[in-house]
Structure 1
Amino acid sequence: MNEDILNVFTDTGALLNGHFLLTSGKHSAQYMQCAQVLQYPDKAAFLCALLAEKFAGAGAETVIGPAMGGIIVAHEVGKALGTRVIFTERQNGEMCLRRGFELRPGEKVLVVEDVITTGGSVREVIEIVRKCGAVPVGVGVLVDRSGGKADFGGLPLQSLVQLQIETFEPDNCPLCGRGIPAIKPGSRGSGK
């Protein structure tokens, strides 16, 4: 099944090849642009329903994801689980709840994201959930690029795909050495 899922990403152009500057500051020759697969509602619903199945018994009352990448994932996972869906976003560089979204003390919350490399945004969302007194029940991602290194304080992590995309420090990047220009993809960059 993992190969079938990866084919959905490949067929939609979500798995990109080139020279990329990642949010972490590292460089890579591949990049997973989940927006390319999530632009197709049928594929988004299919992938997110598979992710939701992994948390069917977790008792989540709400699904939350960080803007931008986690919004569609949260919506589709929440739809599959029959829960409420909210999202966090950055304001003045800090992740927060806005738009009147609230979590109540004791509310069970599933945190989702499209792709993780270091898991930084997900950790910020988990911190918000806990500050509200709500209870995170797990982390679900479409693509785990962390190599199993993302740590969410003991919360269960489930993904549809685990990718081992090699990354390089900027001063030791063979792509830079070949003079290939780096682009910064994703919602925080100015690239594709």
Structure 2
Amino acid sequence: MTDPNLAADIDACCRLTGEFLLRSGQTSTEYFDKYLFESDPALLARVADQMVALVPDGTELLGGLELGGIPIATAVSARTGLPALFVRKKAKEYGTGKLAEGPAVEGRRVTLVEDVITTGGAVRDATNALRAAGAVVETVVCAIDRSPADVNPLADVGLEVLAVLTKAELDAARG
């Protein structure tokens, strides 16, 4: 069952106007602050509810990517009963030195969870690292896929991208 107002509600919550410096160094009069929906319990719950249906059969662990994928993976974990795994951008340099916090990944099917995918850089890095640790990683589910329509930015690593919402759906929600 889809949530017909989710795109409009996320857009209304997260699209900010003003003057913003972007990662690219350019400035913009508009900014999409994804953390606003992730920190809103009602919106996060709605995203997680929609994401549950995207989790492939056979998934053993939900790998939430630091930082934005972690709250979503936790919410989806609570709904599915699947254990969550918290995947760092790089292994910590102290204590256990782990890249992924939580259950062991070797030989287990991990579905990655991310908030927004544009080029897929962080997902690509996590996929390669988890595969090197022995995990089976074939799918990433995300709240928003901002890559161009009909383009899989993670095809080069053989990863299927499943999204709750696309950039086109968010743009259409604005009217």
Whether these two folds match at TM > 0.5 is yes
One-letter amino acid matched to 1:60: T
What does residue 182 of structure 1 align with?
A: none
1:109 aligns with 2:113: no
TM-score of the two chains, using structure 1 as the length reference: 0.71
Q: In the alignment, is residue 62 of structure 1 matched against residue 65 of structure 2?
A: no
Q: How many residues align?
A: 163
Paired letter, 2:146:
R
Cα separation, partners in 2 of 1:163 and 1:29, compared to 1, 3 Å: farther
* CA deviation profile, 1:47-89 (whole Å, cap 9, x unmatched): 112012112x431111112211111011112222211112122
What is the CA deviation profile of residues 14-72 of structure 1, one whole-angstrom value per residue up to 9, with x for unaligned ones? 122344444355655543222111222222122112012112x4311111122111110
- Quote the residue 1:158 is aligned against: 162
Answer whether contact 2:87 2:100 (CA < 8 A) is retained. no
Letter matched to residue 131 of structure 1: A
**Greater relative contact order, per chain length (Cα 8 Å cut-off, separation 6+):** 1
Which consecutive residues of structure 1, in runs of 5 or more, have no partner in the other structure? 166-192
Report what 2:80 is aligned to. 81
The secondary structure found in structure 1 opposite 2:74 is: helix
Q: Is the 8 A contact 1:126 1:136 kept in 2?
A: yes
Partner of 1:128: 129
Unaligned 5+ runs, structure 2? 171-175
Q: Give the TM-score, by structure 2 length.
A: 0.77
> Would the alpha carbon gap of residues 25 and 45 (structure 1) be closer, same or farther in structure 2, given more than 3 Å must change?
same
The residue correspondences of 1:18-97 to structure 2 (distance < 5 A) are 18-24=18-24, 28-55=28-55, 57-91=56-90, 97=98
Q: Deviations over 1:144-174 (max 9, x none)?
A: 1111351242222111221159xxxxxxxxx
Q: Alignment partner of 2:88: what SS?
A: strand
